[in-house]
């Protein structure tokens, strides 16, 4: 019975091939998912750049109406204006500022 077990190679080649194929599939899947991640990040960066390019400035003039035959004001609204300035991180303008490294000091209680 032991000799039959040692001489039995049925399924060994199939198992080795299965492990090789599964390993290649996992490696290919990891590389593919990494590329998908890079593509999604790049597209989201493009969307952020497009939103950063939108000019949000606006202005509108006031309105006033007088009573008929009189100098008295019947109604009015004030005008308004807003000028959009460039934000820190519009269009990949962010600068990451790091502090200067400091040496460690001895603890003294």
* Backbone torsions φ then ψ of 40, nearest 5 degrees: -65, -45
Query: Mind listing the pLDDT tens digit of every residue in the chain (109 residues)?
Result: 778 876 776 656 667 788 888 999 999 999 999 999 988 988 888 887 788 778 788 898 988 899 988 888 899 898 999 888 777 666 666 655 666 767 777 766 5
Give the burial string for 44-53 (b: 16+ CB within 10 Å, else e): eeeeeeeeee
Rounded to whole angstroms, the Cα distance separating 83 from 106 reads: 52
Q: Where are the domains of the chain?
A: 2-92
Rounded to whole angstroms, the Cα distance separating 96 from 98 reads: 6
Q: What pLDDT shows up at residue 27?
A: 94
CA distances from 16 to 8, 11, 43, 55, 70 (A): 15, 9, 41, 61, 100
Q: What pLDDT shows up at residue 98?
A: 62
* pTM for this model (two decimals): 0.48
Q: What pLDDT shows up at residue 33?
A: 93
């Amino acid at each position: 019975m032991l000799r039959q077990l040692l001489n039995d190679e049925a399924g060994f080649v199939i198992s080795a091939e299965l492990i090789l194929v599964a390993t290649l599939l996992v490696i290919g899947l990891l590389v593919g998912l990494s590329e998908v991640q890079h593509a999604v990040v790049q597209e989201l960066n493009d969307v952020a750049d497009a939103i950063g390019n939108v000019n949000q400035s606006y202005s509108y003039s006031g309105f006033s109406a007088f009573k008929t035959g009189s100098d008295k004001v019947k109604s009015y609204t004030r005008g308004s204006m807003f000028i959009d300035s460039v934000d820190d991180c519009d269009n990949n303008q962010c600068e990451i500022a790091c502090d200067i490294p400091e040496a460690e000091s001895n603890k003294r209680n």
